[in-house]
Structure 1
Amino acid sequence: MYASFVILAAALVAGTHGYSSGAPPSVCTDMVPKHPVPAQSTPPPYTITTSTKVVKAGTPMEVVISGKSAKDTIRGLLLQARQGDKPVGTFTIAPNDPFAQLLNCGQPGNAVTHKKHDEKFDKQTVAFTWTPPAGFNDEIKFRATIALNGAVFWVGVESGPVKVTN
């Protein structure tokens, strides 16, 4: 009995740290981490805001994810700009960013995820630059999975719509 408990506890700990180095490409579509617990069903304590509600194709804009209070930090992240269910555009991050890295969800740089990092690098607010593709003319929303920790995370956090004009 005790051995079963130890094995279960070890599996849960391993599972909560399974993607400590960032989301794998296998979760690009549903954005659901394969943690051993379900996503939270409560409203997320995070917001996604954008520097503009209308942007010209090919023109960079800023996307900010913020916790609503100081305790609402971000340990893990997967962020995409989506036209319906399709990731579009390209993100840019600083080369030495201690928190984030680009992810290829069908195209290089069309998603951002977290890097393996110490808890001291958890953020209450993160900001990224996103550029819509040249010639693009449609509405997008930024969609994210945001993890407070390995056992507490929200899937499907969305921004308001952003109109991309040609």
Structure 2
Amino acid sequence: MNRLWILAALVTLATLTHGYKKGAPKESCDDMKPEHGVDPKTTKFPYSITLSKSKIPPGGKVTVTLSGSDSETFKGYFVQARVGNKAVGHFDEAPGAGFVDCHGSVKSGITHSSNSEKKTVSLTWNAPKRLSEKVVFWVTMVKDGATFWVGKKSSQLEVRN
């Protein structure tokens, strides 16, 4: 019986530290934590978040590129565009990506759908047609199940006519 309990505990721990192969769960919408069962890293963030534009009109699009520095790769990501603490807008479909509906907004979060190693990912975000605000992209990057950075922020995107 004791061996069975130990085996069950090891399987559970391996699942938690391995993470979600198909991306962030809906429970991650508020705190951006990937629910891996370990604390996020507070060390230097080895990735970059690049926006294709610094200003777009309401209803416009921007490309968000996630990439590793030098030879740094990643297995997962979770991205939201936010005004304050609320996800806004929606993402277009992208290869190897899936959606998470956050804060009552459809496709407002985008995440990996495979935990294969990636060097760079480009995602297209659409601003709401009636939005006139400064938007910041919140990003969680996962190097592996036990190594991840939570809620890193992009530069501001101005959505105005």
* TM-score, L = length of structure 2: 0.90
Unaligned runs of 5+ in 2: none
From 135, 158, 161, give the equivalent of 2:156: 161
Partner of 1:146: 141
Partner of 1:77: 77
- Matched to 2:134, the amino acid is E
Partner of 1:114: 112
Partner of 2:17: 16
1:81-96 to 2 correspondences below 5 Å: 81-94=81-94
Q: Deviations over 1:92-139 (max 9, x none)?
A: 023xx1x2112211211111011134x3xx211100111110021110
- Matched to 2:149, the amino acid is W
**Matched position secondary structure for 2:33:** coil
Unaligned runs of 5+ in 1: none
**Matched position secondary structure for 2:41:** coil
* TM-score, L = length of structure 1: 0.88
**Aligned: 1:45 with 2:43:** no
Report % sequence identity.
Answer: 36
Residue pair 2:19, 2:34 contacting (<8 A) in 1 also: no
RMSD between superposed Cα atoms in Å: 1.7
1:49-60 to 2 correspondences below 5 Å: 49-60=50-61
Partner of 1:126: 121
- Matched to 1:79, the amino acid is V
Deviation, 1:9, is 3.4
Partner of 1:102: 99
